[in-house]
Structures are given as structure tokens and as C-alpha cells.
Amino acid sequence: MKNVGEELFQALNDLMRVKNECSCAILSECGVSSLTVRQIAYLKTIDGQEEVTFSRLAEITNNSKPTITEMVNRFEQMECVSRERSPDDGRVLFIRLTEKGRRIAHAEQAALRQIVKRILDSLDENEQELLVRLLEKVE
């Protein structure tokens, strides 16, 4: 007979596996299933900035400008980002996510939403409310 801790571990492990499968499916749909965790983190960082320049991204990520330039070049080849000149100063280039880049940056959240939908579809209203109350206690 399993103990409660082991059962909870297995249930959470299964949920994480399904979330990872959903994330992988989303990345595969974007045609970039080989992106690294770090590359996805960079896309999330770009997504989190209103207007980010090469210098600012280097500062945020604690990288050199040449490293950022190389990364942005790669992302451009993958059609994840584009460069846009500042309307105020033509010397300044902003890094912008393309729709594909946004989908990748939001893939983890989209996968989590798929998990939530699966959970809600499998529980009745009382079970849903109970689960929410129980999970709120974990904070």
C-alpha cells in the first residue's frame, strides 16, 4: 500500500508530464521543438519588455552585446523576432517578437491552461471548488 506522500508525488509527476507534453506539442506546432530552456527564457524576457534594445537585453540577461546580436540573429532565422527602428532615433533598433515568438514565449502558460481544462472537465463543480481551496492552502 502506497503512502499519501508517494501517491501525491505520482499524481503531481503525472500532471507535470502532461504539461510538458502540451508544451512540447505547442513548440512542435511552431516548428521549433529543439529550442533550449534558455532560448525560451530569452523570448519570455523580450516579451516582458515594452521596447527592448540590444543593449537593454544584454543588461537584463547579463550577456555581452555580441552574444545578444548572435542570439537575435538566430531568432530572426527562426522567424521568432524582428528588428524595428525607433521612430524617434533611427540609430536605435528594438527587438520585437513575431507572432511565432509570442506563441513560444507563452507556450508554458498555454500548456498550463490545457491542464486546467482537463482537470475541470474531469471534476464536478464541488470537486473543482475543493481542489481550488486545497491548492490555495499550499501557498
Helix (H), strand (E) at residue 26: helix 4-29
Using DSSP, state whether 33 is helix, strand or coil: coil
Instruction: Please provide the CATH number assigned to the domain covering 35-105.
Output: 1.10.10.10
Over residues 29-60, the pLDDT tens digits come to 888 877 888 899 999 999 999 889 999 999 99
Taking the C-alpha atoms of residue 65 and residue 54, their distance in angstroms, rounded to an integer, is 6
pLDDT of 2 over the 80 cut: no
CB 82 within 8 A of CB 99: no
Q: What letter does residue 80 receive in the DSSP assignment?
A: S
Edge-to-edge strand list for the sheet holding 93-97:
52-53, 93-97, 81-85
Give the other-Cβ count within 10 Å of 138's Cβ.
5
Over residues 87-102, the pLDDT tens digits come to 888 889 999 999 999 9
Assigned C-alpha cell, 25: 506539442
Domain ranges of the chain: 1-30+106-139, 35-105
Report the pLDDT value the prediction gives residue 1, as an integer from 0 to 100. Answer: 58
Report the pLDDT value the prediction gives residue 75, as an integer from 0 to 100. Answer: 95
